[in-house]
Chains A and B, each alone.
Chain A
Amino acid sequence: MQDVRWNDPRTSRYLGKSVPRLDGPGKVTGAAKYTYDMVLPGMLHAKVLRCPHANARVASIDASAAQRMPGVHAVITDIAGAGRFAGQEIAAVAADTEEIARDAIRAIKVQWEVEPHVVSTRRGMRDERRVGRPREATRGQDPESLWSSAAAVIEEEYYCPVREHLSLETHGLVVQWQEPDRATVWLSTQAVHGSRGELAGALGIPQQNVEVICEVMGGGFGSKFGPGVEGRIAARLSKMTGRPVKLMLERYDEQVASGNAPDALMRVKAAMSADGRLIALDSKIWGTPGNGNNSGIPMPYIYNVPNFKTWQAGVSTNTGGARAWRAPDRPPASFLMESVVDELANKLGLDPMRVRQLNQNNQVRNRQLELGAQLIGWENRNKAPGSGTGRYRRGMGCALSEWGGGMGQPCNCDVKIGTDGSVYVGIGTQDLGTGTRTYVGTIVAEDFGLPLSRVKADIGRSSLPVAGGSGGSVTAASVAPAVKDASMKARARFLEVAAGLMNTSVADLEMRDAKVLSKSNPANSMTFDQVCAKLPPGGIQVSGTTLASLQQGGVAGAQFVEVEVDTWTGRIQPIKVVAVQDCGYVLNKLTAESQLIGGVIQGLCMALLEDRKMDEPTGRMLNPNMETYKVLGSLEVPEIVPVLYETHDKVAGIGEPAVIPTAAACVNAVYNATGVRLRTLPMTPKRWFEATETNQ
């Protein structure tokens, strides 16, 4: 077969165009059934008893009252013998209704042996037993020897707090055990295939006997790879009772126990030459991933620093465990490095955008900076930061990003063409809201010259050909090339048949408007259905695999933010964001842009609002709900300009990178607006006022 390439967007009908998502109609009308919406006959509801203490052993547990409650069908009390954070799973029940399950949980009596706890990074880092093995790196000369020769030096502390995923559909599942050894599981997951193993393990059956279904899911952002503790609990309860069991986490459970992004406390000293080149950097970072103590913030991230010394360590605390959070570790890395660069550039009175261009080699990013500057009107920023007057002050900032987003696990894909004209494409991937299902369909529709409505795109089940989990922005770059491979193979077979029927060569044929046409003789044509009717019995069935040649990783991004600060209240309002994102070949413009917009909004949430608050005395989370764990709402969302910056003709993933630089650009914009540098996120009004007093 000749080289497979992506369809030319100048002549394509779907690829590279804006195509409304296939599952849109189901989602807007309530017809789409999420895991949370599943109601099966005879289904039981499970609830989990969680440790109320940050660190406590279970001395005794008495579930007899719960056992005896009418409507309670199963109780398990052996999930964990101790709670190492407030919220850890200890016991669970399955009952006829949620209300009864909640009553039963309250009826379980636990005697706790409470042990001392630490829930903050700052306290944990003072105890060396809690600090993990440091990761260190050095380059060039010892920064210590260079400070005195630099034109500008800063020495500061920055802090980015723990942030939550806050998926709107909480983690959870419905397990339907089928005697003797099978199970069907509806799971809100980022990995239908990858989740089977853990569920099968909990059920003690072979992995092949577990079918995981996730047709639509309400957000994951990195937190929904495995079925997790709740998945294993529901599996056990279903097997024990022989009934379907539904276990969806409650909002509180979700926020204390289903993952978060570690915080980052950085102490840094950095230096720049008079012409704006970074000379040296010495950084130390601590962060808590909860019970573990690993840490992985890349420093100095995208910048070329000839001489540096970096050190970082994870700090173990009695808090809920971290999980991958959209572009893991990059948003804090960007906040830290972009603040440092911005501070130094401003100290020297240099244009922060030019200084960025000087200190990193990626030419795509440097061009993106030019474009973004133009779109935001960079020349209108305050040339002297904080020089504006009046109550409301505006300013602009920028920041950069880098992300992988290439191929993950190679996938398989099936394409079938029926003699009845039916077209089917199946792949065991999942759609997190990124538009996966839609491009699975459009790739095939494009190749066959069919309207999208003629293609059945089947995803979200583990009985479909294997595909990897959706993390690391690898889905599009892994799934699309497999679909394309299968589609082109099916097309080749189809055209062979058509060529025979039409007495011409395959090379002479093209397909459009559900027809097969001879290029040399327009009068010679057949409808798609006519050709299908002549296919061999059983039609065409082919499978494809990810073609590495159709994807490429490594995406660059640049963002500009304009903010307005109310100097009377300290309130910071983003006005406009320009997000220029390297994206390779665009499969669907509409959904790709939505990814950028969504990433930016999450980045703004990080800049302005998100903060998991732990209470040191009680060891509990203070804001385990959506009222006090804040995210942006409709009155705060600014104008956002997504720019798909196409650099090559291969598919790259962009699910994550847009979230990376927004917060950093926002911090820099506040400085440009008011001359006030905030070094702790989120930038609350109180912090802005405090900073006004200390660093005007």
Chain B
Amino acid sequence: MPEEKSAKGELSRRQFIRASGAAVAASTVAGTLISANTKADAAPTVPAAIGAVDVSLKVNGKAHTLSLQPRVTLLDALRERLQITGPKRICDRGNCGGCTVMKDGKPIYACMMLAVDAHQSEILTVEGMGTPERMSVIQEKFVEHDGLMCGFCTPGFVTSVHAVLQKNPSATMDEIRRGCAGNICRCGTFNRVFEAAVAAARSGRGA
């Protein structure tokens, strides 16, 4: 098939050009982990894919247009294409909540939605809620109360708590537990996640 061949040729060329331009290193700054690959010059090479369509997303306040195959999930588009890796891929099947993001103000499992279905929507992830230097109240309370261990489930929990407190800034323990019912933590941080969420609610400083 001539079409496929030319597609292949094109992508290898592009990859070569991008790959040769960027250097990558991970660094730890003052104890908070900030990794490389966040700069534009380290953007991954994404080959043009057969049947790709344009998808526009506003993520953490920034507009993006991506060329994606319709089968790409919102989660993979965020993680692989935009390198917004706060939302984690854990079960990829709507079972764990690790990929939870806010879409147009509501929490969703990003692994359960195709990126094309999120076309023209607004996405908020933990990256958009705060940075290591300027954390949101919820993020701050998670750290203070040790609502995390390995931290892999944590962005999902932070987002779920964000959703609960957005709905009711003085949410009760019961509401918080229900709000996190779609999140799994294998390290067993639940109790302290709840404590952190209650503390955030009590702080009166909103989500």
Q: Do A and B come from one complex?
A: yes
| A→B interface (CB under 8 Å) | 18, 20-34, 36-43, 70-71, 96-100, 166-170, 186, 213, 215-219, 221, 243, 250-251, 432-435, 437, 441, 452-453, 455-458, 590-591, 593-595, 597-602, 625-627, 631-635, 637, 639-640
State which of A31, A598, A625 has its C-beta within 8 Å of the C-beta of B187. A598
- Contact partner of A42 (CB less than 8 A), chosen from B19, B91, B130, B143, is B19
Tell me whether A594 and B149 are in contact in the complex, defined as CB-CB below 8 angstroms, given that A31-B131, A99-B71 are known contacts.
Answer: yes
Once bound together, how far apart are the Cα atoms of A411 and B109, in whole Å? Answer: 42
Interface string of B148-177 (1 = CB under 8 A from A): 111111110010000000000000000001
| Chain B 165-207 near chain A by CB (<8 Å), digits 1 or 0 | 0000000000001101101111111111110000000000000
Query: Could you list 10 further interchain pairs (A-B, Cβ under 8 angstroms) beyond the known A39-B42, A435-B149?
Result: A20-B146, A24-B148, A29-B86, A29-B126, A30-B127, A36-B88, A168-B90, A250-B92, A593-B146, A634-B193
Cβ B90 vs Cβ A251 within 8 A: yes
- Rounded to whole angstroms, the CA-CA distance of A600 and B86 in the bound complex is 27
Q: Are B33 and A433 touching (Cβ within 8 A)?
A: no
Other-chain contact of B127, A18, A29, A36, A43 (Cβ < 8 Å): A29
Report B's interface with A, CB cutoff 8 A.
Answer: 4-5, 7-8, 11, 15-16, 18-19, 21-22, 24, 26, 28, 30-35, 37, 42-47, 49-50, 69, 71-72, 76, 79-80, 83-93, 95-96, 98, 125-127, 129-133, 135, 139, 142-144, 146, 148-155, 158, 177-178, 180-181, 183-194
Tell me, in angstroms, the Cα distance from A593 to B21 when the chains sit together.
Answer: 46
Q: Which residue of B lies closest to A213 (CB)?
A: B26
Contact residue among B86, B142, B146 (Cβ-Cβ distance under 8 Å from A590): B146
A75 CB to nearest B CB, Å: 15
Closest to A102 in B: B71
Q: Which residue of the partner chain B has the closest CB to A246?
A: B80
Q: Secondary structure of the A side of the interface?
A: loop
How distant is the Cα of A547 from the Cα of B127 in the complex, in angstroms? Answer: 41
Q: CB distance A219 to B126 under 8 Å?
A: no
Nearest CB of B to A589, in Å:
10
| Number of inter-chain CB pairs below 8 Å | 261
- A39 interface neighbour in B7, B80, B143, B189, Cβ under 8 Å: B80
- In the docked arrangement, what's the CA distance between A251 and B99, Å? 14
B47 touches A39 (CB 8 A): no
Contact A251 B92 (CB under 8 A): yes
Provide the residues of chain A in CB contact with B178, threshold 8 Å: 634-635
CA of A308 to CA of B183, assembled, Å: 46
Known: A21-B143, A71-B8, A453-B30. A38 touches B37 (CB 8 A): yes
Among candidates A71, A168, A221, residue contacting B98 with C-beta atoms closer than 8 Å: A168
**Contact between chains at A99 and B49 (CB < 8 Å):** yes
Bound Cα distance from A213 to B151, whole angstroms = 17
Within 8 Å by CB of A28, from B22, B158, B180, lies: B158
Partner of A20, one of B76, B90, B144, B181: B144
Residues of A with C-beta under 8 A to B35: 31-33, 37, 215
- The answer to whether A635 touches B33, judged by C-beta atoms less than 8 angstroms apart, is no
**Which of B11, B35, B84 has the largest count of A CB atoms less than 10 A from its CB?**
B35
- In the complex, what's the smallest C-beta–C-beta distance from B142 to chain A, in angstroms? 5
Question: A18: which B residues are within 8 A, CB to CB?
Answer: 146
Task: Check A24 against B142 for contact (C-beta < 8 Å).
Answer: yes
Closest residue of B by beta carbon distance from A33: B35
> Beyond A39-B44, A71-B11, is A456–B189 a contact (Cβ under 8 Å)?
no
Query: Do the beta carbons of B154 and A27 come within 8 Å of each other?
Result: yes
B11 in contact with A637 (CB, 8 Å): no
In the complex, what residues of A have CB within 8 A of residue B158's CB?
28
A218 with B88, Cβ < 8 A, contacts A28-B143, A243-B19 known: yes
23 CB contacts below 8 A, A to B, read: A28-B135, A31-B86, A31-B127, A37-B35, A39-B85, A42-B16, A70-B50, A96-B15, A96-B45, A97-B80, A99-B69, A166-B186, A167-B152, A215-B26, A251-B91, A251-B92, A433-B148, A453-B31, A598-B149, A625-B91, A633-B181, A634-B180, A634-B193
Residues on the A chain within 8 Å of B33, using CB = 23, 26-27, 31-33, 215-216
The answer to whether residues A433 and B139 also contact, given A41-B44, A634-B181 and a CB cut-off of 8 A, is: no
Residues in B with CB closer than 8 Å to A600 are 188
Given A31-B127, A41-B24, A631-B184, also A21-B132 (CB < 8 A):
no
Q: Give min CB distance, B100 to chain A, whole Å.
A: 12
**Is B93 touching A627 in the complex (CB atoms < 8 A)?**
yes
Q: Known: A30-B85, A41-B44. Is A626-B142 also a contact (CB below 8 A)? A: no
A20, A38, A167: the one within 8 Å of B186 (CB)? A167
Cβ distance A165 to chain B, nearest Cβ, rounded Å: 8
Residues of B within 8 A of A452 (CB): 31
Query: Bound state CA distance, A250 and B148, in angstroms?
Result: 23
- For the complex of A and B, list the 10 residue pairs with the smallest distance between their C-beta atoms, beginning with the closest: A30-B86, A218-B152, A42-B19, A433-B150, A601-B188, A27-B151, A33-B35, A598-B188, A433-B149, A24-B143
* Residues of B contacting A433 in the complex (Cβ-Cβ under 8 angstroms): 148-151, 187
Residue of B nearest to A255 (CB): B91
**Interchain CB contact under 8 A, A216 and B190:** no
Complex interface: chain B residues within 8 A of A633 (CB): 181, 183-184
Q: Which residues of B contact A640 (CB under 8 A)?
A: 191
Q: Is the CB of A42 within 8 A of B15?
A: yes
* Nearest CB of A to B205, in Å: 16
Residues of B within 8 A of A26 (CB): 32-34, 132
**Nearest CB of A to B28, in Å:** 6
Note all chain A residues with C-beta closer than 8 A to B125: 30
